[in-house]
A and B are shown apart, each in its own frame.
Chain A
Amino acid sequence: MPYHKVIVVGSGLAGLRAAIEAAPTVDTAIVSQVHPVRSHSGGAQGGVNASLANNPAGKDDNPDKHAYDTIKGSDFLADQDAVEFMTKQAGPCIYEMEHWGCPFSRTDEGRIAQRPFGGAGYPRTCFAADKTGQYMLHTLWERSVKLNIPLYEDRVMVDLVLEGNNCRGIICWNLKTGELEPFMAEAVIMGSGGSGQIYGRSTNALISTGSALSTCFRRGVPLKDMEFIQFHPTSLFGTNILMTEGARGEGGYLINNNGERFMSKYAPKAMELGPRDIVSRSIQTEINEGRGINGGDYVYLDLRHLGREKILERLPGIRDLAINFVGVDPIEKPVPIQPGQHYTMGGLDTNIDGLTKFQGLYAAGECACVSVHGANRLGGNSLLDTVVFGKRAGAVAAQWVQTKQKLKEGEAAIQKSMRETKERLAGLLERNGKENHADLRDEMKLTMISKVGIFRDRKPMEEAVQKIRELKERYKEITVDSKGKQYNINMIRALELEGMLDVAEAIAVGALKREESRGAHSRLDFKERDDARFLKHTVATYTLKGPDIAYSPVKITKYQPEARRY
């Protein structure tokens, strides 16, 4: 069976960055469902935060100020040691990306250009037009080609092999051949991305299902802070395709049906550049109170006053998207937008090195929860998270593998897992019930967005938990139409739905038990933050009866929780 000392699952920014760090010292391979340049990191638009102080308005910026903004943005749920580590590493990591070819936009002095972003005291978001994620992703893929890192693509991770407290490898489904393939490794680094597709109205790529994450969860890796789901203020009405925060960073307005810049009511100082949780709630409040455009489910993102030249130079990507998907040219008309699910703040519970509770199992990027984003991530911090903690996990994993005494253990555990997976997939294909799994998926997405969405309340959340359990029962009655081997996406989508339901349940149950409002978790029945009871991380562990919820402490170094005003 294929054996590599380090196997990275996922080839977005976090996975690639981890592999690039580990590969020069230990044999490292990447296993991915899609080719690296297809990964969802490429959907990121606005930029990546680092206090480089290249913008004259940001000359006093430094890592401490970046840390404070991040921690305040997180509503004090982020682990402060991890945040400080991230903001200190930000500069070196961005310069590294630039040295490897990332085509950042430039200041007049030829330095990396920076723009203002939500919730930040200074313009510290380094950008490359409005396609920063795409360019960073391509740069890291290019680097991985330079380093000749083996890539196993079209592989879907379907099982994680743990033996006692150790990680032994993974089991994949090869989409091209329709065969199961075991991979043995001394260390596995998860870089499999977020779980956004569990929700309706998601800005995420269709493969961001949290499927690999759910596989780890089912095998016993705890999930942290899953109830914190970010809603991006500006996604295209209808398709929920992302319209970057950079549009507001460059000076875009949010306008309601009365033609008002309504953010003056909610964040009088920061206006449109409040943090995402606050801006999303503000938009939703306008819509709920009937001030959406023509009373509809959307408001306007107005860029017209920026002028043609600035839009073409700084925001060409979202202009194309608006033209292609809603037939609106932002140079001429305001763009209809609504909040959309955007980011999973929670994830596989790791420490500051990306290590989970299992020896040899690491995670980085959106699938992980270190935690640096706490209850609400600031725009521009997710790309930063991927490169800083991808690099860290890659370095730590490689180091650990080099000191490991006994290698290539766990053959029997891997074979056992192969047998179990084979049975599981055979069982899935044999089912012949009346339920259509695509419809169940739609019901789940609708349930999550409508009942565990921007505003939350006990009763709808209880209904959501109920509904997810009902869907889990009905899942037993599905039929997978496609029984073939070649590129059987129908089966993979059925399989991933099972995991998505587990994760959906963890989100809903965690949200129900957190009786406070903090960051993106906003409850109508508990409107205030409650530090006495809930200044702690939610830790969900998989059981057959549903997630078992416990809590762990938040690391506070120098910033005591205070009221968040913008």
Chain B
Amino acid sequence: MAKTTVRLKIQRFDPTADKAPYWQTFDVPIRPAMTVLDALFEVMNHQDGTLAFRFCCRAGVCGSCAMMIAGKIRLACETQVSQFLDLDEIRVSPLPHQKVVKDLAVDYELFFSRMKRVKPYLIGKEPYPEKEYIQMPKEREPINSPIDCILCGACTSSCSMAWFDADYLGPAALLKSYRFLVDTRDNAYDERLDLIEHEHGVWRCHTEFNCVEVCPKKLNPTEAIQRQKIKAFKRKILGRKRKA
């Protein structure tokens, strides 16, 4: 017989009231095309109004609802419940190793403070041209994929290096760094390498590929980090380069 409900086992935790996190189970009626986010709303609206989680675009572009779902970090909004029907329950918990605000909602302060350390903005050649910078389609290719990062935090939360080393920039910030390093319009090559070439930077990556495994946008932070290692290494041998 087809299932009419799905069982969510959700990790609950209110740091101001609870001594430790605990699990709570909810049976939610299945609707066609129901996502995990829909199911969480169903719980909040009709079973337990105290459930807390982050949400916004519900279309996989804002990065609000990354969480651990059935053993893997995913975006709740684009994860269909139907794929888990052979499981007895779907376990849902917050992004691992992040400070919990409440239940599934985590604090992104550490995540964004890591990001800010790589100067996450274009340092363009000035004075600005009268119109746009000329960038050939071929020159744009290296940034085609890294610009798709939605800053959901899945990668950095899955990285065991980032777990124990709070100073480690982590895959998301290093992908951001790479995005500007290879942008032909950027003019801060050496400065950028200085920001990532240290033990809490690219060298901390042990190529576990966890970040690649979980990225909902199918990006490759590990590769971006290795490419930056190569650039740093080359600079060591060949000396600093200019970049007009």
What 1/0 flags go to A76-118 for Cβ under 8 Å of B? 0000000000000000000100111101111111111000000
Whether the Cβ atoms of A106 and B136 lie closer than 8 Å is: yes
6 A-B pairs besides A101-B122, A484-B50 with CB distance below 8 A are: A38-B56, A106-B136, A145-B121, A205-B57, A205-B59, A487-B101
Whether the Cβ atoms of B124 and A110 lie closer than 8 Å is: no
A100 with B57, Cβ < 8 A, contacts A106-B136, A436-B45, A487-B52 known = no
Whether the Cβ atoms of B132 and A482 lie closer than 8 Å is: no
Bound state CA distance, A70 and B32, in angstroms?
40
Whether the Cβ atoms of B134 and A487 lie closer than 8 Å is: no
Pick the most buried of A104, A134, A176, A485: most chain B CB atoms within 10 A of its CB.
A134
Q: Does A556 contact B (CB under 8 A)?
A: no
Whether the Cβ atoms of B57 and A38 lie closer than 8 Å is: yes
Minimum-distance CB pairs A-B, first 9:
A481-B49, A101-B122, A438-B45, A142-B121, A110-B134, A490-B49, A486-B102, A487-B52, A487-B102
Q: Does A326 contact B (CB under 8 A)?
A: yes
Whether the Cβ atoms of B56 and A206 lie closer than 8 Å is: yes
Which one of A237-245, A252-260, A268-276, A404-412 contacts B?
A237-245
Bound state CA distance, A103 and B140, in angstroms?
8
Residues of the A chain whose Cβ atoms lie less than 8 Å from the Cβ of B128: 95, 99
Bound state CA distance, A486 and B53, in angstroms?
11
A142 with B52, Cβ < 8 A, contacts A95-B132, A110-B136, A110-B139 known = no
Whether the Cβ atoms of A486 and B61 lie closer than 8 Å is: no
A486 with B16, Cβ < 8 A, contacts A35-B108, A40-B57, A205-B57 known = yes
Residues of the B chain whose Cβ atoms lie less than 8 Å from the Cβ of A486: 14-16, 52, 101-102
Bound state CA distance, A262 and B150, in angstroms?
37
Which residues does B use to contact A, with CB under 8 Å?
14-17, 32-33, 41, 44-46, 48-53, 55-64, 78, 80, 101-103, 105, 107-108, 112, 116, 119-122, 124, 128-137, 139-140, 143, 147-148, 150-151, 180, 183, 185-186
Bound state CA distance, A317 and B64, in angstroms?
18
Residues of the B chain whose Cβ atoms lie less than 8 Å from the Cβ of A317: 61
Whether the Cβ atoms of A145 and B120 lie closer than 8 Å is: yes
A134 with B134, Cβ < 8 A, contacts A205-B62, A324-B60 known = no
Whether the Cβ atoms of B59 and A146 lie closer than 8 Å is: no
Chain A: CB-nearest residue to B52: A487
A100 with B121, Cβ < 8 A, contacts A110-B139, A325-B33, A484-B14 known = yes
Number of A-B contacts (CB under 8 A): 165
Q: Does A350 contact B (CB under 8 A)?
A: no
- Choice from A38, A106, A131 contacting B64 with Cβ under 8 Å: A38
Whether the Cβ atoms of A206 and B16 lie closer than 8 Å is: no
Whether the Cβ atoms of B61 and A42 lie closer than 8 Å is: yes
Q: Does A444 contact B (CB under 8 A)?
A: no
Q: How far is the CB of B230 from chain A (nearest CB, A)?
A: 23
Chain A: CB-nearest residue to B132: A98
Whether the Cβ atoms of A35 and B52 lie closer than 8 Å is: no
Pick the most buried of A99, A207, A241: most chain B CB atoms within 10 A of its CB.
A99
Chain A: CB-nearest residue to B123: A146
Whether the Cβ atoms of B122 and A100 lie closer than 8 Å is: yes
Q: Does A489 contact B (CB under 8 A)?
A: yes
Bound state CA distance, A109 and B14, in angstroms?
56
Which residues does A use to contact B, with CB under 8 Å?
34-35, 37-40, 42-43, 52, 95, 98-101, 103-112, 128, 131, 134-135, 138-139, 142-143, 145-146, 154, 175-176, 205-207, 238-239, 241-242, 317, 320-321, 324-326, 436, 438-439, 480-482, 484-490
Chain B: CB-nearest residue to A242: B59
Pick the most buried of A37, A98, A175, A205: most chain B CB atoms within 10 A of its CB.
A37
Whether the Cβ atoms of B131 and A95 lie closer than 8 Å is: yes
Bound state CA distance, A156 and B49, in angstroms?
19
Residues of the B chain whose Cβ atoms lie less than 8 Å from the Cβ of A40: 56-57, 62
Bound state CA distance, A37 and B107, in angstroms?
15
Whether the Cβ atoms of B121 and A143 lie closer than 8 Å is: yes
Chain B: CB-nearest residue to A489: B52
Whether the Cβ atoms of B112 and A35 lie closer than 8 Å is: yes
Residues of the A chain whose Cβ atoms lie less than 8 Å from the Cβ of B63: 37-38
Bound state CA distance, A34 and B59, in angstroms?
16
Q: How far is the CB of A192 from chain B (nearest CB, A)?
A: 14
Bound state CA distance, A99 and B187, in angstroms?
12
Whether the Cβ atoms of B135 and A106 lie closer than 8 Å is: yes
Q: How far is the CB of A467 from chain B (nearest CB, A)?
A: 20
Bound state CA distance, A486 and B99, in angstroms?
13
Residues of the B chain whose Cβ atoms lie less than 8 Å from the Cβ of A100: 121-122, 124
Whether the Cβ atoms of A109 and B133 lie closer than 8 Å is: no
Bound state CA distance, A154 and B151, in angstroms?
16
- Choice from A42, A112, A205, A480 contacting B132 with Cβ under 8 Å: A112
A34 with B64, Cβ < 8 A, contacts A40-B57, A482-B50, A490-B44 known = yes
Whether the Cβ atoms of B107 and A176 lie closer than 8 Å is: yes
Bound state CA distance, A242 and B116, in angstroms?
31
- Choice from A35, A142, A205, A238 contacting B58 with Cβ under 8 Å: A205
Residues of the A chain whose Cβ atoms lie less than 8 Å from the Cβ of B120: 142, 145
Q: How far is the CB of A426 from chain B (nearest CB, A)?
A: 17
Chain A: CB-nearest residue to B101: A487
Q: How far is the CB of A377 from chain B (nearest CB, A)?
A: 20
Residues of the B chain whose Cβ atoms lie less than 8 Å from the Cβ of A37: 62-63, 150-151
Whether the Cβ atoms of A134 and B121 lie closer than 8 Å is: no
Bound state CA distance, A239 and B121, in angstroms?
34
Chain A: CB-nearest residue to B126: A99
